[in-house]
Structure 1
Amino acid sequence: MSAKLRRNWKRLQPDTLRQSMLLCKEYAQQRRNLSVEGIAAKMGLADHWSLYKWIENGRMPVVLIPAYESACGISFVTGWLAANDHKLLIEMPTGRDLSTDDVVDLHAGFATALGLLTDFYSGKAESVATLEALYAHLQTVAFHHANVLKYGQPEFEFGE
């Protein structure tokens, strides 16, 4: 393990647009071994100096944000933009067949989140644990949302 502390990337919440851009860059450097030049190349930019400038001043053309996040492998900028507009961003998992365990997990996650929420409002639970349980439950619901959506819009099945 390196001298640097390992970050829990899933828990990080940037406070500014510039910080979200820096976190994307740091993630790409640590997890994908990409330099700013490598990120710029994956984005299709001819000049990596522009990317340095955008990260430094926290301003990037909005049409390049998806390419930047795709190259970096994480979506801190999109998450910050959503949070800044008082929206909650939940990653939509891919659909798959439902199992009995999925229904049990949905119910258990809801019960856990509801219990912690009740305890939080009565001063018996920490906000971090409550937020984690709520977020985990929302991700489970997002999985079922994706499954139902896929059912309503079936994909083509090509030859056997």
Structure 2
Amino acid sequence: MRIPKTKAAWRRLQPSNLREAFRLCKDYARQHHRRTVPAIAELIDETEDTLYKWLSNGKMPASKIPAYEHACGIDYVTQYLALRGHKLLIDIPTGKAAEMMDLNELQLVISQGMTLLMQFYQDQADPEETAEALTKILGGVAYHRANVACDEPELDLFAGAE
């Protein structure tokens, strides 16, 4: 898998296995936060050797996953575990009004996903790619639904959390 260059491209990635999820988190930390494995290990209070072992075999204690993802700045492991359990995760809305670009991007995701779905039913699209596109549609729509359901959508509930 090629490493994306932009944060938007990183957000569209979905790991296909647990080791890949750990690796993507590490690669993201390296590219966007300039954190090496030793730096991540120090942040999660583990030895470098232990972290390398966990990354190579994909077996990290569940209690360390939130700290690892926080140190890396992205949550691919949680996303993978949720998808593996047939669950859909959405970010908690910050309570601020959606920008037009957000809505335009959602429209593009929906259009691309529906195109893949039609192609899938004609045996012309990959099932995994189609499922990934549909998951993105559901997540985007669920996010906006939750944002609309807020009592005060213009209130910045988590300002500065990004």
TM normalised by structure 1 equals: 0.66
- Give the fraction of aligned pairs with identical amino acids, expressed as a percent: 42
Partner of 1:27: 28
The SS at the match of 1:9 is: helix
The answer to whether the aligner puts 1:140 opposite 2:140 as a matched pair is yes
Alpha carbons 2:21, 2:76 under 8 Å: kept: yes
Deviation at 1:60, TM superposition (A): 0.9
The answer to whether the aligner puts 1:69 opposite 2:69 as a matched pair is yes
Which amino acid in the other structure matches residue 78 of structure 1?
Answer: T
TM normalised by structure 2 equals: 0.65
Task: Compare 13-22 and 59-68 and name the one that shifted more.
Answer: 13-22
Deviation at 1:53, TM superposition (A): 2.1
Deviation at 1:10, TM superposition (A): 3.3
How many equivalent residue pairs?
152
Q: Which structure is larger by alpha-carbon Rg, 1 or 2?
A: 1
Deviation at 1:67, TM superposition (A): 1.0
1:91-118, Cα deviation, whole Å (9 max, x unpaired): 3442323689988987887677556534
The CA RMSD over aligned residues, in Å, is: 3.8
1:57-104, Cα deviation, whole Å (9 max, x unpaired): 211110111111111011111122122223333334423236899889
Structure 1 spans left out of the alignment, 5+ residues: none
